[in-house]
Amino acid sequence: MEPAHRQTAVRHDASTGGADGPRHLNLGVLAHVDAGKTSLTEALLHAGGAIGRLGRVDAGTTQTDSLALERQRGITIRAAVAAFSAGDVTVNLVDTPGHPDFIAEVDRSLAVLDGAVLVLSAVEGVQAQTVVLYRALRRLGVPVVLFVNKIDRRGAAPGTVLDGIRRRLSTEAVPLGAVRDAGTASALVTPLAWDAPEVTEDLTARLAAHDDDLLEEWLAAGRPLGRARLYTALARLTRAGTVHPLVFGSARTGAGVGQLIGTISGLLTPPAGDGAAPVAAQVFKVERAPAGGRLCTVRMRAGALRVRDRVPLGGGRWATVTGLEVFEPGGPVRRDQAGPGQIARVRGLEGARIGDWIGDRIGTGPAAAASSALPAPGFESRVTARDPARHGDLHRALSELADIDPLIAVRPDRDAVRISIYGEVQQQVLAATLAAEFGIAADFGPTTVRCVERPSGVGAAVLRMGEPGHPHDFTLGVRVEPAAPGSGVELVVAAERSGIPLHVYTTFGDFRTAVLGYLAQPLACGPHGWPVTDLRVTVTEAAYPPAGPRAAEVRYTTEAVVHQAITRAGTTVCEPVDRFAVETPPGTLSAVLGLLARNGVAPQVLHTGDPVAVVTGTARTTVIPAVRAGLHGSTHGQGVLESRLDHYTPIPRATARRPS
């Protein structure tokens, strides 16, 4: 009889896929807001036979925008998956958000992609978020196909957009067609005439600049190469991210959509994965299932995942697969297993969080570490339940959301809860989620920047068993002192090993691991109310009675003694400072400099040139939202602001207290 659970960490099964197995393409669709990303997703699903009629964003009938707030605002908030067929390839479309508040959701989705379609409007061309998204794709090594949408709209200028792409994004955009009657309802796309001498000459030269073998063949032949050879080179260079095929079209009329499907299936589809390898899958989305529990969306990298498999989640955690759905044309379908390249919704992974790996973590390039490299939100907001009697429910609901998403942090605050966020639109999403999934009406206060505290000096404390005021059977002494900025928390165990309770080793595998876990509570809130970091904690003394302490006594003692030591050391509150870069057309540079000056930002480097001027420097994180908000008007929508946490700097003691 088959056992109830199978350990999959070391299992090999040659029955699922392999070098000649089914082919799957996991494709992202990304764009600046209003470029037509969700409409293109609908057009691809319709052309691929997955849906019978096109949905409309303005009517709230699209397949991938399922949240009420998504339908209301006409924007994508959460990554969604839908599948269609392109010949022998199953394409899983991952529809990703375009709003800057959800850049974390975008990056985590990018980590599971084989390629992406970056959508631009034939009217507006390269926009600010287009540049940001393109750079994110390149940073993560995701191959890109460009789709210039809305060729049928009045004002469409495909040639001007192509020039902008080559100036602002990449000189290696390769158009695979041309547009006739642009800006009219009858706009059409004429595919590339591969056999025309001028086309093969230009394409051979463009591709040979990046392919030495192709260059040698071209020189040896003394003439441009044939279509088959050029297509092979184009596919290789596309998957390498060296060149970017470009397709013109209209999601509304369907022009160019068929060519786009042929382009992505022919040029982006990777080889089939290894179904005989140990299971390896990435969790990139976690939802609450309607019947309770977690519903995890995973990208299969290798091996097979089956119902009833008991799988490792990392960090000593295990879970059992109780249900599994694989995304197929027409929607998710219940299956007994998922194989390489597939995207599946999995039940039973109750301990899983976004960014976790199931089974083996395998090297998949820069995108594999995307979710772990994301910066934590730089702001927080105070959340209150409109019904004071539901304060406890609010805290539990937000804690559950934070347990799913490692980028969300929650802490109690009297009759409210504080939660880390990226921006105000994200507040609205959280409010909608609390109302829809938990039945809680909540209000969000103004956002405030998240500071940290660093020890100002050295502080020591000790609690000894048997002494008044210390009821636990465990002695612990610690010393707290400053460490290098950015170093985080360092733990040094200088106490005699004989004083370390052996059962703590047995329970946690390592005393250091146990103590580091116990430090989370006292370091979460320092004397001024902010998290404490950049410190060295040295265990100077430890002892216990012959019977040994309980694990809870070790934890309570650690929390209390570390809190005392930090209080005696004193702390300095430090606010975050971002390193930023602003790109703007040269004609709007003076307006940008004025915007920065009004927000107290002094540029450090200024470079003027064509097509953009670049201003770089550092700025207090707290002013970045104001700069971002003012940039659109100052640059007529053409400015690009990129910022990332650079360091923390001390702030005046008078303003150091965390709002309570």
Task: Give the chain's domains with CATH numbers.
Answer: 6-13+272-373 (2.40.30.10), 23-267 (3.40.50.300), 379-450 (3.30.70.870), 454-569 (3.30.230.10), 576-655 (3.30.70.240)
Could you read off the pLDDT of 281-298 as tens digits, one per residue?
998 888 888 777 889 999
Provide the pLDDT for residue 11.
Answer: 33
Provide the pLDDT for residue 426.
Answer: 75
Phi and psi angles of residue 326, each rounded to the nearest 5 degrees, phi first: -105, 135
Helices and strands (H, E) in the chain, number of each type? 17, 33
Could you read off the pLDDT of 140-169 as tens digits, one per residue?
889 999 999 999 999 999 999 999 999 999
Provide the pLDDT for residue 406.
Answer: 65
Contact 409, 378 (CB under 8 A): no
Provide the pLDDT for residue 660.
Answer: 52
Predicted confidence (pLDDT) at residue 6 exceeds the cutoff of 70: no
Name which of 301, 286, 340, 345 is nearest 321 in CA terms: 345
What are the angstrom distances between the C-alpha of 279 and each of 170, 296, 299, 305, 603?
Answer: 37, 16, 11, 6, 50
**Surface-to-core class of residue 469, CB atoms within 10 Å of its CB (0-12 exposed, 13-18 middle, 19+ buried):** exposed
323: left (phi over 0), alpha (psi -120 to 50) or beta: beta
Provide the pLDDT for residue 506.
Answer: 45
- 404 vs 649, higher pLDDT: 649
Average pLDDT over residues 317-342: 92
Q: How confident is the model at residue 548 (pLDDT cuts 50, 70, 90)?
A: confident
Predicted confidence (pLDDT) at residue 447 exceeds the cutoff of 50: yes
Residue 69 host element (H or E) = helix 68-73
Q: How far apart are CA 602 and CA 615, in angstroms?
A: 10
DSSP letter at 608 equals -
Q: How far apart are CA 15 and CA 275, in angstroms?
A: 7
Provide the pLDDT for residue 104.
Answer: 55
Contact 45, 336 (CB under 8 A): no
- 384 vs 497, higher pLDDT: 384
Contact 465, 493 (CB under 8 A): no
What are the angstrom distances between the C-alpha of 596 and each of 131, 321, 450, 628, 642?
Answer: 21, 52, 22, 10, 14
Provide the pLDDT for residue 412.
Answer: 72
Predicted confidence (pLDDT) at residue 638 exceeds the cutoff of 50: yes
Query: What is the pLDDT of the chain when averaged over all its residues?
Result: 84
DSSP letters for 347-379? E--TT--TT-EEE-----SGGGGTGGGPPPPSE
3-state secondary structure 455-502: ECCCEEEEECCCCCCCCCCCEEEEEEEECCCCCCEEEEECCCHHHCCH
Q: Which of 84-88, 179-183, 374-378, 639-643 bottoms out in mean pLDDT, i.e. has the lowest?
A: 374-378
Provide the pLDDT for residue 311.
Answer: 92
The pTM (predicted TM-score) of the whole model is 0.77
Provide the pLDDT for residue 5.
Answer: 38
